[in-house]
Amino acid sequence: MGITVSVIEDDRETRESLVELLNGAAGLSCIGSYSNGEMALKAIPGQKPDVALVDINLPGMSGIECVNQLKNIVPALQILMLTTYEDSDLIFNSLRAGAKGYLLKKMAPTELVQAIEQIHAGGAPMPMQIARKVVDYFQTLGNEPETEQLTKREQEILVLLAKGAFYKEIAEKLNISMSTVRTHIQHIYGKLHVQSRMDAARKYFGKNY
């Protein structure tokens, strides 16, 4: 079968185009396509594809959370993030969750096929501008304390998280969407190198929290 691939993408037209591209490329085959992370988590552990293409901006469970759970269940799975975003925090959080490559959706079909072959061979494909952002991001991490990297909005959200507020309550209090809250929290966890609200609060407020 060559390299087997699963696609996790909520946009139907994009998903169908990816499936057609994969099945038409020599040495590749798509063995599953899913519109959300929840569906993928149910099917992929049994199918065990070699590579998964994951949209970072999925409905419900985020692409980053999907990657994190998939890597825990299927450690050998090689994951490429597909996105329209070049946000440094999202890039870092994706790689931290277990992705090995980060691709922009506007890339040419031939580049996508090459990226799948590269990651299957042990590489970490990403466009030059993304690679530069990753390097810059890690350099920034080394130049200032983790807690000082949080924006004012992220600090506001972390204070509410520490008080036990739910995502919906935070969204209502700050007059922002639930999706925005989730994105900010992903950024907070990535900057502080934690996985839970308790660990984030302790790192920010100190051991006495």
DSSP 35: S
In this structure, of 14-28, 129-143, 147-161, 171-185, the range with the lowest mean pLDDT score is 129-143
pLDDT for res 208: 46
Cross-strand partners of 60? none
CATH tag for 146-205 (out of 1.10.10.10, 3.20.20.70, 1.20.1530.20, 1.10.599.10): 1.10.10.10
Is 120 a residue whose pLDDT tops 80?
yes
Is 139 a residue whose pLDDT tops 80?
no
| Average pLDDT over the chain, rounded to an integer | 87
pLDDT for res 207: 47
Count Cβ atoms within 10 A of the Cβ of residue 177 and give its class: 0-12 exposed, 13-18 middle, 19 or more buried: exposed
pLDDT for res 141: 54
Show me where the domains of the chain are located: 3-125, 146-205
Cβ contact 103:126 at 8 Å: yes
- As a CATH number, domain 3-125 is 3.40.50.2300
Coil, strand or helix at 102: strand
Q: What is the pTM of this model?
A: 0.66
Is 1 a residue whose pLDDT tops 90?
no
Q: How many CA atoms lie within 13 A of 78 on its CB side?
A: 18
Residues 28 and 175: their CA atoms lie apart, in Å, by 46
List of E strands, the chain: 3-8, 28-34, 51-55, 78-83, 101-104
